[in-house]
A and B are shown apart, each in its own frame.
Chain A
Amino acid sequence: MAINDSINNAFAGDYNAPNKSSKNIIMGGDFTTNPWQRGTSFVSPVINTNVADRFAWAVNGTAVVTITKNADSPTAAQSGVFSTSCLQIAVTTADTVIAATDFSFLRQRIEGYDFCNIAQRNFTLSFWVNFNKTGIYCINVRNSAGDRSFVSEFTVNSINTWEKKTINISPSPTAGTWNYTNGIGLEVDFVLMAGSTFSTATLNVWQTGNFFASTNQVNGVDSNTNIFKFALIQIEAGDKATPFEQISAENVLLNCQRYYFKTFPQATVPAQNSGVVLGACTYIVQLAGATNNGQKIRYPVRMRTAPTTAGFSPLSASANWYNITRAATTSVATTINATDRGIYLSNAQNAADVLGNVYAIHLTATAEL
């Protein structure tokens, strides 16, 4: 403990530069503050299943995994950052014979606007891994069209040990099909397995084509005892991996809500018949019977594009509106004027609905890349 009763602050000149906005263009890379809006356990996710916010599972082949939020992370002494959770991928069905087009990887797609922060300049990927299978693994970064790829290897040296990996990536080329607006600016993949179609012997340079891994990539899904943990993923401009940037949980959530929003409480997994009406889109019947009525929902932030929406009855196994007063499932919710800022959920109601009945429905809105 030290006390400095100085009236003047001598550090102003030294520290002016670092006070800038978010340096890490990976969203939710700290799985402690990642909101995990869709839940914290994903059994047998299929290809393109979104798991932790902004992260998705990509798979082709017979491998099956379970992805969870896991109470493990590098210590504060190791990483310089206090965290409590990581993203864990546990293989539950092995794929020992890799077909040419097989692959298994964890990905995040960075929006074009955000990619501009690192486009056509050096950037650095840093992350922590804790695997129970050692060997050479790969990451790749690819453009929106999959016609430019950069593959790099990293080695897991010890089983069940948190290791930090840092990979410097040269400036992305101007050639190729790149998106610098609200499409896929850059996809970042952490590869557990890749077949020959997606493998390359050319490492650490941008090349034409759609490659996921090197020919040295181990088969990480060759046993149903394999477990892979990821933590503190960061991409920043420049050649140095600086310490992981911690930002407030609220700001992480706001960033993630550009891509996914739910009316459910943050701690509730979106599902039909969740038993939870808190936060649901609600209105009180003013016109009895089978008459159109409804309510608006305003998204907390502008979404990337007008999202795809899904309705969830809070108290029945249905996607329809639920009449809480009558304990009845009624009409499917239809949408009116759906935009990137909000939506109107309409209800055709039911002949038995009477004045004063309370209606509710939950909603998810997805504008993922």
Chain B
Amino acid sequence: MSINNSLNNTFITDYNGLNKLSKNIIIGGNFTTNPWQRGVSFVTPLTGAYTADRFKVDYVTTATTTITQAADSPTETQAFIFSTQALSTAITAADAAIAAGDFYIISQAIEGYNFTNIAQRAFTLSFWVKSVKTGIYCVSFRNSGSDRSYVAEYTINTTNTWEKKTITVTASPSAGTWDYTTGVGLSVSFALACGATFQTTANAWQTGNFYGTANQVNGLDSNTNVFILALIQIESGEVATPFEQRMEAEIIKDCQRYFQKTFPMTTAPAQASGTQLGAIQYRAILTGIFANGQTWDFASIMRVAPTITYFNPISANTNWYNVTLAADSGASSSLNIGDRAAFASNAQVVGDTATNNITIHATASAEL
């Protein structure tokens, strides 16, 4: 037994960032195990749309894209990890002239609580990239108030070749509007294009909201361009350690803090999906127009009380579906939406009869 009343921790240098339950604060950075709850193909997604779990696209441009889960990845020999899938952004309509206010970024917003793992200390981003178009690209790191940004460049050397990139970022400043709880702690963005409005100097924390440098190539300039990302990791410290492999159940749980669905995991949420499996369901007690419904207990506590969207499993609307009668039932609504559960309510309609089996699918989104 020994006692050490030291003020300093002599192991910090040796052990920074390694002894964590999850060292990687990017959720779903392996697109093989990312659950892709919303689907695996997104044709012309709107700006702000989520694609793979926890990843979204934002843009101002005339270009259009298709984002997919692609059966491509660095080999086990390259990455020291077996993976099979990547996140692919294919340009389907080009934007050859990037205006000052144009940009195109693929981002993940890290929650404030998780950001505390790397806040105010050096951290390292590592990822694999494969692009048809070579040249200088940028990644950016921004705070909740978008009043502090750090932009770094990396070079894609060879067309259509998996390359690993590692970027070490200096400690985030205390100044600025930062969120260390349930808001946006840090947004990490991969730029495909960036107009002058959002350009800054690389490799230092800047005041303002920036996505790239003036050297950023226009990755949207041809409808043959394809930009593919894999094995994205952010960890504390200045060393990029091997990509952290985690259990699928853990990844799903992490993602469900931000998005959940009643659909089977392999079914993309949609009206008239044709599947009732996993749907919210109840047996009517009263005949006719009477409110009823069922509780939806979320799989885990969500970041905040979510926004709930309903999907009729058979028809192209948001109504409940009466399985017994093979007919639509009443309009869907929610009661008492909390971060742990909600009550899905049905107005029921004339024709609904006691003992009828009535069902509906739903998604709950508490994304950042």
Contacts from A to B (Cβ < 8 Å): 1-9, 11-12, 15-16, 18-19, 21-23, 32-33, 76, 78-84, 152-155, 157, 163-170, 204-205, 239-243, 245-251, 253-254, 257, 263-266, 277-284, 286-287, 295-298, 300, 355-356, 358, 360
Contact = CB atoms under 8 A, between A and B. Distances in A.
B119 A248 contact: no
Interface string B165-180: 1111111000000001
Contact of B166 (A4, A257, A286, A296): A4
B126 to A, nearest CB: 8
A319 B154 CA distance: 60
Contacts of B80: 9, 12
B272 to A, nearest CB: 27
B166 A5 contact: yes
A306 B242 CA distance: 41
Contacts, number: 230
Interface in B266-316: 285-286, 290-293, 295, 297-301, 305
Contacts of B165: 3-5
Across the A-B interface, give the 3 residue pairs with the lowest CB-CB distance, nearest first.
A279-B338, A249-B113, A80-B12
Nearest to A37: B301
Contact of B5 (A3, A166, A287, A360): A166
B3 A265 contact: no
A249 B345 CA distance: 31
Contact of A243 (B15, B244, B299, B343): B15
Most chain A CB atoms below 10 A, which of B5, B204, B240: B5
Nearest to A162: B7
Interface residues of B, number: 84
Contacts of B169: 1
A3 B154 contact: yes
B18 to A, nearest CB: 4
Contacts of B157: 5
A287 B284 CA distance: 12
B264 to A, nearest CB: 19
A240 B7 CA distance: 15
Interface in B202-216: 202-204
Contact of A358 (B162, B170, B335, B340): B335
B367 interface: no
B300 A250 contact: yes
B339 to A, nearest CB: 5
6 contacts: A166-B3, A248-B22, A250-B301, A266-B339, A279-B305, A360-B336
A357 to B, nearest CB: 9
Nearest to A268: B338
A23 B166 CA distance: 27
B27 to A, nearest CB: 9
B53 interface: no
A150 to B, nearest CB: 9
Given A15-B241, A249-B113, 5 more contacts: A165-B5, A166-B6, A243-B19, A278-B339, A300-B340
Nearest to B256: A250
Contacts of A32: 113, 116, 180
B338 A280 contact: yes
A79 B241 CA distance: 22
B23 A19 contact: yes
Given A82-B116, A155-B5, A243-B9, A251 B21 contact: yes
Contacts of A295: 295
B47 interface: no
B67 interface: no
A263 B340 contact: yes
Contacts of A155: 5
Contacts of B22: 247-248, 251
B21 A300 contact: no
A237 B341 CA distance: 38
A154 B6 CA distance: 10
Most chain B CB atoms below 10 A, which of A23, A83, A246, A249: A246
Contact of B295 (A239, A243, A282): A282
Interface in B1-39: 1-9, 11-12, 15-16, 18-23, 25
